[in-house]
Amino acid sequence: MKTRTIFYIGCLLATATLTGCDDFLDKDPQDKQTNDTYWRTETSLRTYAQDFYSYYFTGYGTDYTVFGGYFAGDDYTDDFINLNDANTNSAGYIYFPTSATTDWNSKTTNWSNSYSVIYKANVMIEKIPGMNISDEAKAHWTGVARYFRAMAYSLLLKTYGGVPYYETVTDPASQDLYKNRDSYLTVAQKVMEDFQYALDNVRVNDTKRQVNKQVVGAYMSREMLYHATWLKYHGSTVGSSAEKIADAEIKAMLQAAINGAEVVMNSGLFAIGNTYTALFTTDDLSTNKEIVWYREYTSGVTTNPLMSYNGPEDQTQGGVTQDVVDSYLCDDGLPIGQSPLYEGDKHIDKTFAHRDPRLYQTLADSLRIMSAMNTNYTSGTSPTGYATKKFLNDEWYAAGSAYCTNNLSPADAPCIRYAEVLLNYAEARYEISRVGGSAFSQSDLDKSINQIRGRQLTAWGETVAKSMPKVQLAGNSLSVNGVVINDPARDTTVDPILWELRRERRVELIMEGRRGQDLRRWAKFSYLNSENAAGVPSKTFLGAYVDLADYPGMSAVNEGGKRTLFLYDPEDPTNANADKGYIYYLRDKNLRIFKEGDLNSERYYLRAIPAGQITVYKDKGFELTQNPGW
């Protein structure tokens, strides 16, 4: 068990100034720091900066509510159907908000927290030039402040689109405080400038658990890829009022994402290893070369409940969908609709046969249905039948460790890891080749996707590890072992190479809080629909296929004759009481319907500007404009 110094997120020291007309009152208090006496040393700056950390590196959280975006905590996705009521704005939304004037308008946390960080960062940036420290130290700490300012504005952009931009400390009494929103492009360019400054000036190493050059580069690759692709696929905002963004502007942001990724890739500090679940279930990630930045947990001090939710407990918050299981390749590197190895999905054993080994590291090896009767499961169940194990330490669980129960897991949480940086690089390199950048090459694949595919993993109960076949460029497509990949399930609006890059990202990062943001920036909320125009449920809302005849003793009805397990059989869609079909847990019609081009749907890509902020502006005689459709 780890024994180490605990990283403490300190409180922000006050910066209020004491004034007075008496000589005594004009003297600095000897037992307190004042605004003038505080800004003296690097120690002061380090202490001040700790307050930023709690906003962005939540890891797995510390309770059952959000898991920091992991497992059930992602945004709208087609990977995981969350069973919480989305109208309370809980994580993993089932429904889109039902009103243009309520729901999201009442949620202001991202707005208020982000502007709090921005104000604190601007104070720090303003004070540093007057400090008696080295120029190198000034540049480093200014870089730290600008990094966190970039993170704050980046979150605001993702949430609301364009927002008011302040890069200096603004007097609360000044009318400048009530400026209207700057455009998405303008703010994104400022974010890019801050990231680049931080990348150029933050230290390569600044003591344990402190932001360094590699951390800046990793997050720069994530955030700038988001903004570049948002602007490419949406334009300036959502709806018909959106203006197209010039390729040159998008290219610059994609290059920024590449710049950030390359700092990490060229550092020589990171590499893809031969583990997967260990990245999420280990009590000390400090020496794992796949981890760029993580949150520490320590038994008896700060722990989390995610492991118990992937072990003995029923996964009542939701489950993995059939849609994402279908996205895993066969182990010959071909999609299930193309590979001769695919045995179909009509039995769990066939579904899992000959698949990408990451599937075995992510899901349990058997069907575990929460609502099935007359079963005797020894481990947790899932409403979709696919119980997850990505966040479960098998050794601890087999030993009956208390770490796998309640809120006691000391497993560290990877906030950002090397595989994502490689995926960010690959996507940015392909996208930049479409807007005037150099051609996407085999070298780009070899230093990114093929590094990830080289990971050696084993299937359940097996001892021989295997990796996925490397991909090769084949004109406008990719190939494996000389066979061109031609996925019949591909979205025809997405280029074949990009489709495969996005698949790799989906599978590698499943349940890590990325898929919802990816669908948002790609303008692909159409993937989230609960049913098609004919009312046929989509696999985004279906679980594993079950034929009760294959599971003696299992029943779809309880002792009172009430049906508890509902199945949808595509071959007999009118049979509501089918004894075979895909698990159909959420059966209400029109649960989640997105219509491309319809503003009532398109508005969901952005949250509403908080109504309270609009009112504050109005009361002061100013205007803060609302997002389209809200």
Q: pLDDT tens for residues 463-480?
A: 899 999 999 999 999 999
| pLDDT score for 594 | 94
Q: Which residues share a beta bridge with 319? A: 81
Of 508, 568, 94, 104, give the one whose Cα is nearest residue 317: 94
Burial (CB count within 10 angstroms: exposed 0-12, middle 13-18, buried 19+), residue 560: exposed
Q: Predicted confidence band at 607 (pLDDT cuts at 50, 70, 90)?
A: very high
Of 360, 357, 356, give the one whose Cα is nearest residue 386: 360
Q: Predicted confidence band at 575 (pLDDT cuts at 50, 70, 90)?
A: confident
Of 12, 49, 54, give the one whose Cα is nearest residue 33: 12
Mean of pLDDT values over 293-302: 94
Quickly tell me which residue has 């069907």 as its tokens: 367
| pLDDT score for 576 | 63
The answer to whether the beta carbons of residues 231 and 247 sit under 8 Å apart is: no
Q: Does 106 score more than 80 pLDDT? A: no
pTM for this model (two decimals): 0.93
| pLDDT score for 34 | 56
* 341 C-beta neighbours (distance < 10 Å), count: 14
The answer to whether the beta carbons of residues 518 and 508 sit under 8 Å apart is: no
* 194 C-beta neighbours (distance < 10 Å), count: 26
d(CA 58, CA 470): 34
| pLDDT score for 169 | 96
More confident of the two residues 19 and 265: 265
From residue 622, give the alpha-carbon distance in Å to each of 105, 119, 174, 615.
19, 21, 13, 9
* Phi, psi dihedrals of residue 292, rounded to the nearest 5°: -90, -40
Q: Does 380 score more than 50 pLDDT? A: yes
**446-450, 486-490, 605-609: lowest mean pLDDT where?**
605-609
d(CA 99, CA 116): 28
d(CA 217, CA 265): 9
Mean of pLDDT values over 393-406: 93
HSE-CB for 315 with a 13 A CA cutoff: 33
The answer to whether the beta carbons of residues 541 and 384 sit under 8 Å apart is: no
Q: Does 518 score more than 60 pLDDT? A: yes
User: If you average pLDDT over every residue of the chain, what do you get?
Assistant: 90
Mean of pLDDT values over 561-585: 88
Quickly tell me which residue has 């590197």 as its tokens: 333
Q: Does 98 score more than 70 pLDDT? A: no
The sign of the dihedral angle between the CA atoms of 231, 236, 238, 244 is negative
d(CA 607, CA 1): 43
**5-14, 590-599, 614-623: lowest mean pLDDT where?**
5-14
Question: How far, in whole angstroms, is CA 116 from its chain's centroid?
Answer: 22
Task: Render pLDDT for 28-43 as a digit per residue (tens, 0 to 9).
Answer: 444 444 566 799 999 9
The sign of the dihedral angle between the CA atoms of 408, 411, 416, 419 is negative
How many separate helices (H) and strands (E) can be counted in the chain? 20, 10
In eight-state DSSP terms, residue 531 is: B
d(CA 570, CA 537): 9
More confident of the two residues 624 and 589: 624
3-state DSSP call for residue 109?
helix
Q: Does 89 score more than 60 pLDDT? A: no
Q: Predicted confidence band at 307 (pLDDT cuts at 50, 70, 90)?
A: very high
HSE-CB for 627 with a 13 A CA cutoff: 31
Mean of pLDDT values over 501-515: 97
d(CA 360, CA 455): 14
Q: Predicted confidence band at 65 (pLDDT cuts at 50, 70, 90)?
A: low
Of 62, 53, 175, give the one whose Cα is nearest residue 120: 53
3-state DSSP call for residue 413?
strand
Quickly tell me which residue has 């997002």 as its tokens: 627
Task: Render pLDDT for 201-260 as a digit per residue (tens, 0 to 9).
Answer: 999 999 888 999 999 999 999 999 999 999 999 999 999 999 999 999 999 999 999 999
Helix ranges (H only) for 161-270 are 184-201, 213-233, 247-265
| pLDDT score for 266 | 98
Q: Does 278 score more than 70 pLDDT? A: yes
More confident of the two residues 266 and 592: 266
Question: How far, in whole angstroms, is CA 131 from its chain's centroid?
Answer: 38
More confident of the two residues 10 and 547: 547
Long-range contacts: 361-364, Cβ < 8 Å, 24+? 361/276, 361/277, 361/389, 361/390, 361/457, 362/276, 362/320, 362/388, 362/389, 362/390, 362/510, 362/511, 363/320, 363/325, 363/387, 363/388, 363/389, 363/390, 364/388, 364/389
Long-range contacts: 232-236, Cβ < 8 Å, 24+? 232/431, 232/435, 233/521, 233/522, 233/523, 234/521, 234/523, 234/605, 236/162, 236/183, 236/184, 236/185
Q: Does 369 score more than 80 pLDDT? A: yes
